[in-house]
Structure 1
């Protein structure tokens, strides 16, 4: 067996890169979102043995709102994978070093990732943070407020939903400042079927939306935007479907926000607090205090549609 080299990816690596991801993530096509990054090859770092990719890390620069109201350039880490036979050899740490070096050159303030295996990243300086949300039984179904309608949306609706999203998250720490490219490519990819988009309309204008995921006995609400009445209409529609589906549990993966809180009784009965600890951050040019202020700020949240 020959030695391993560490470098940026090239188009010629694509077959073995995809097979590496397929081995690591057999239930998810992570390459679909990766393919929306125009600079993906130059920011994908690979470990190569015998001309074959055996491990990979992708870095994507993103603009995230900070606790002080400014916007930070953040290095998002994604698609971290190692072939099973190559694990335990330090490939990911070497590739993360290359990614952080690139972030430093690019001027990133800090790095962000989401994972179910935090121990892999602690040795590279990443630390976990917590995001709260709620779950409970679906609320009884209710009609939308007068003048409101809720209809299923499609991927073609996403660009038109940028204004309510921007208004809802204008001062939300940890949220992403989405570009037109994000609305046309990344958000539809993350919220592709079986996720479902619902749009709240008033006076012929889309003024709010909700993304839900349904499975046996469960409904998950993973993103919303809009004012209190829009959310009441959307939550009522979800509750009605949950009742028809005989769902027993609803997860509202939503921020601690006054607008959400005012409308939540139309979605949940007997809400229970929950905690998500899959997020990790690492300073690059910023200091640790800035990261702690942003991740711990009231209402701070990162939407799954902006995952990396």
Structure 2
């Protein structure tokens, strides 16, 4: 058994391993190949010349509890071949990953998983993320004419507007990623490929001032999911209501009967929930895990538990 970092010779073997462990999860290999430093940050267990386990970490700039950008070691693409499980490979690879994160100056490490026990013995701890779920709201009854506000599907040409909305809404928001232009152009489209839709709310009239955006996903035929929102200054509950109502209409058109909301509990979002959900039931998840590297444990805890903290689905790794 040999534990090592990846090389060019692994360019085919590792995607094949991921495909075996996670059938259909093509985003994993696609994003891994976007990382120019992937070889030194990918840790492999090799048995008889065959890669049987792998861990990859990507440094990302994430805002702290105080809104300060800091480098975080984002751990993902963890996979072990079924015939090599239960032998401690992941634990050994995690040790190597943390050593490299330390050398690279990472404040802490972040991962998302449905199997937390794999990581707890190596120092990661779960944290909660707020959310709601419930039956999809029915179409609204006709009422008084609303203020001039339109919601449409965003186009490629809207990237500068979407980026400005995201940067403004997240300027000091804990746990959010500082998205670069490259992220917008290459990473975000991987996660928000069709049938996902990005919705853009604009003020009516000439100029069409952008007021907010939201991302609608369709994880299953009968369920819709809101995984991002951004509200401009001055874009409060009315904008959030318009975005969620438009998302509900699109979800109904696709045959959905239920929906989930993966957004921070800011007042505008909470007030707008009835536009999407007929009955909003809290649905807290605990897929996120954090581990201090160079930062003090209390600082890491403050970031992942801060009011309004959120890690957007489009910044997954």
Q: TM-score, normalised by structure 2?
A: 0.90
Give the aligned partner of residue 84 of structure 1. 82
2:241 paired with 1:224: no
Give the aligned partner of residue 111 of structure 1. 109
Sort the Cα spacing of 1:184 and 1:245 in 2 relative to 1 into closer, same or farther, 3 A: closer
Length, aligned pairs only:
305
Contact 2:3/2:93 (8 A) holds in 1: yes
Contact 1:20/1:53 (8 A) holds in 2: yes
Q: Secondary structure at the match of 2:37?
A: coil
Distance in 1 (CA, whole Å) between partners of 2:157 and 2:316 is 20
For residues 212-244 of structure 1, what are the alpha-carbon distances to aligned partners after superposition, in whole Å with 9 as ceiling and x for unaligned? Answer: 122332111111112323322211111222344
Sort the Cα spacing of 1:103 and 1:145 in 2 relative to 1 into closer, same or farther, 3 A: farther
Give the aligned partner of residue 292 of structure 1. 301
Give the aligned partner of residue 141 of structure 1. 139
Counterparts of 1:27-66 in structure 2, within 5 Å, are 27-29=24-26, 30-66=28-64
Sort the Cα spacing of 1:256 and 1:119 in 2 relative to 1 into closer, same or farther, 3 A: same
The structural deviation recorded for 1:117 is 0.6
Q: Which runs of 5+ in 1 are unaligned?
A: none
Sort the Cα spacing of 1:159 and 1:187 in 2 relative to 1 into closer, same or farther, 3 A: farther
For residues 157-196 of structure 1, what are the alpha-carbon distances to aligned partners after superposition, in whole Å with 9 as ceiling and x for unaligned? Answer: 4454111011111221111111111111111111112322
Within the candidate set 14, 17, 22, 1:20 is matched to 17
2:212 paired with 1:212: no
Greater Cα offset, 185-194 or 110-119: 185-194
Q: Which runs of 5+ in 2 are unaligned?
A: none
Counterparts of 1:115-264 in structure 2, within 5 Å, are 115-142=113-140, 145-154=146-155, 157-202=158-203, 203-214=207-218, 215-226=220-231, 227-228=235-236, 229-264=238-273
Contact 2:3/2:44 (8 A) holds in 1: yes
Distance in 2 (CA, whole Å) between partners of 1:158 and 1:185 is 12
For residues 119-163 of structure 1, what are the alpha-carbon distances to aligned partners after superposition, in whole Å with 9 as ceiling and x for unaligned? Answer: 111111111111111112223335895332222234554454111
Distance in 2 (CA, whole Å) between partners of 1:244 and 1:192 is 19
The structural deviation recorded for 1:86 is 1.0
Distance in 2 (CA, whole Å) between partners of 1:174 and 1:28 is 25
Contact 1:155/1:188 (8 A) holds in 2: no
Contact 1:221/1:252 (8 A) holds in 2: yes
Distance in 2 (CA, whole Å) between partners of 1:59 and 1:245 is 36
For residues 71-122 of structure 1, what are the alpha-carbon distances to aligned partners after superposition, in whole Å with 9 as ceiling and x for unaligned? Answer: 2211000100111111111111111111100110111111000001111111
Distance in 2 (CA, whole Å) between partners of 1:232 and 1:172 is 21
Contact 2:111/2:290 (8 A) holds in 1: yes
Sort the Cα spacing of 1:46 and 1:154 in 2 relative to 1 into closer, same or farther, 3 A: farther
Give the aligned partner of residue 8 of structure 2. 11
Q: TM-score, normalised by structure 1?
A: 0.93
Distance in 1 (CA, whole Å) between partners of 2:187 and 2:290 is 22
Contact 1:159/1:183 (8 A) holds in 2: no
